[in-house]
Amino acid sequence: MEWFTRMKEALDLMELKMEERLDIEEIAKAAYSSPFHFQRMFHMLTGMTVAEYTRKRKLTLAAQELAMSSSKVLDIALKYGYDSPESFAKAFRKVHGISPSEARSPGVSLKAFPRISFHLSLKGDKDMDYRIVEQEAFKVVGRAFRTTCQNNDNTREIPTFWGACHQDGTIDKLVSIGEDNNLLGIVLDMQPGSEDFTYMIASQSNVDEAALAEGFTTAVVPAYTWAIFTSVGPMPGAIQDTICRIFQEWFPATGYEHSGGPEIEVYPPGDTTAEDYRCEVWVPIVKK
């Protein structure tokens, strides 16, 4: 319950600061959380990034002000953090489907994006199998692409990327050069304030010339303390559900938070469409 109270306090502060530039460190501090952990939790709980939420809220408030006042469009644009009427008009049209000046027409239809509220939901209908492990740094090799949390594009683009890597032979090559038979899905380069990140399909491997000749990229996963969760069921639904439960149920109930490092999916050999397929989610953690 305390965790949800802190998130409510952070939301209250966000509402008070809608006319200012977002200071994620200040907002996260209100939730007694690191900026990275706050943003990751917010996204997993709401389906939106903090930046996406504040954009929609600002444009809702701006639309109300346009409809109910005679303030200049430029003044309202500047008030809600836009540098020019052009950038404001582009963002406004994307949300409302009309220009800011059209928002003043009598009877015009505007989108209203309400303020979010958090409510305690006691689930606990399923056990969450996990263990805490200290792991030294290790090298990986694979293929990567950039995706975004905005509009949950990553939940569609990542399965498509896996499909393409199966079709072009990437998966078979990674299995052949890996130190074990496991495939890894790695979330890299998540930064506070950014909606974009790198997703890598990889295998654990000490890089050699043959791997580089295949056009693969390389990375080093640093040493972390990991919370490792077991996921059971067909992909990608089962692992997406497990990841959601980690953030919606496990983190609020424990004394841990996300360390800001990469997140890893570990896929052993087997039929990934089977109801009993087992894989793992590795989340880097620190004690609060």
Report the CATH number that the domain containing residue 231 is assigned in CATH. Answer: 3.20.80.10
User: How confident is the model over 199-219, as pLDDT tens digits?
Assistant: 999 999 887 665 666 779 899
The reply to whether 157 and 51 lie within a common domain is no
Select from 182, 137, 175, 212 the least CA-distant residue to 280.
182
The reply to whether 82 and 159 lie within a common domain is no
Phi, psi of 152 (to 5 degrees): 55, 30
> What distance lies between CA 102 and its chain's CA centroid?
34
Q: What is the pLDDT of residue 248?
A: 86
The reply to whether 140 and 236 lie within a common domain is yes
Q: Is 189 among the domain residues?
A: yes
Select from 21, 61, 42 the least CA-distant residue to 116.
42
How many domains in the chain?
2
Distance CA 287, CA 275 (A): 34
User: Which structural domain range is residue 199 located in?
Assistant: 130-287
Q: What is the pLDDT of residue 202?
A: 96
The whole-chain average pLDDT of the chain stands at 89
The reply to whether 144 and 42 lie within a common domain is no
Q: Is 278 among the domain residues?
A: yes
Mean pLDDT for the stretch of residues 47-69:
91
Q: What is the pLDDT of residue 73?
A: 92
Asked if the model's pLDDT at residue 123 lies above 70, the reply is no
Q: Is 113 among the domain residues?
A: no
Q: What is the pLDDT of residue 288?
A: 81
Distance CA 171, CA 166 (A): 5
Please return the burial class of 88, using the count of CB atoms within 10 Å of its CB with bins 0-12, 13-18 and 19+: buried
List of residues 6+ apart from 82 with CB closer than 8 A: 88, 91
Asked if the model's pLDDT at residue 269 lies above 90, the reply is yes
Asked if the model's pLDDT at residue 113 lies above 90, the reply is no
Mean pLDDT for the stretch of residues 41-52:
89
Last residue in a domain, options 104, 138, 157: 104
| CB 11, CB 115: distance < 8 Å | yes
The reply to whether 22 and 91 lie within a common domain is yes
| CB 283, CB 229: distance < 8 Å | yes
Residues in the chain: 288
Q: What is the pLDDT of residue 21?
A: 87
Q: Is 110 among the domain residues?
A: no
Asked if the model's pLDDT at residue 101 lies above 80, the reply is yes
Confidence class of residue 5 from pLDDT cuts 50, 70 and 90? confident
The reply to whether 166 and 93 lie within a common domain is no
Q: Is 118 among the domain residues?
A: no
Asked if the model's pLDDT at residue 253 lies above 90, the reply is no
The reply to whether 154 and 232 lie within a common domain is yes
User: How confident is the model over 133-192, as pLDDT tens digits?
Assistant: 999 999 999 999 999 988 889 989 999 999 999 999 999 999 988 889 999 999 998 887
Distance CA 35, CA 18 (A): 18
The reply to whether 152 and 62 lie within a common domain is no
Asked if the model's pLDDT at residue 282 lies above 90, the reply is yes
Instruction: Name the percent of the chain lying above pLDDT 90.
Output: 63
Q: What is the pLDDT of residue 46?
A: 86
The reply to whether 139 and 277 lie within a common domain is yes
Asked if the model's pLDDT at residue 111 lies above 90, the reply is no
**Residue 12: how many CB atoms within 10 A of its CB?**
12
Asked if the model's pLDDT at residue 127 lies above 90, the reply is no
Q: Say which CATH number the domain at 67 has.
A: 1.10.10.60
Phi, psi of 281 (to 5 degrees): -120, 125
Handedness of CA 12, 27, 193, 3 (dihedral sign): negative
User: How confident is the model over 226-249, as pLDDT tens digits?
Assistant: 999 999 999 999 999 999 999 988
Instruction: Name the percent of the chain lying above pLDDT 70.
Output: 94
Q: Is 121 among the domain residues?
A: no
The reply to whether 182 and 145 lie within a common domain is yes
Q: What is the pLDDT of residue 273?
A: 94
Q: Is 248 among the domain residues?
A: yes
Q: Is 123 among the domain residues?
A: no
The reply to whether 257 and 141 lie within a common domain is yes
Q: What is the pLDDT of residue 133?
A: 96
The reply to whether 92 and 135 lie within a common domain is no
- The secondary structure of residue 128, as a DSSP letter, is -
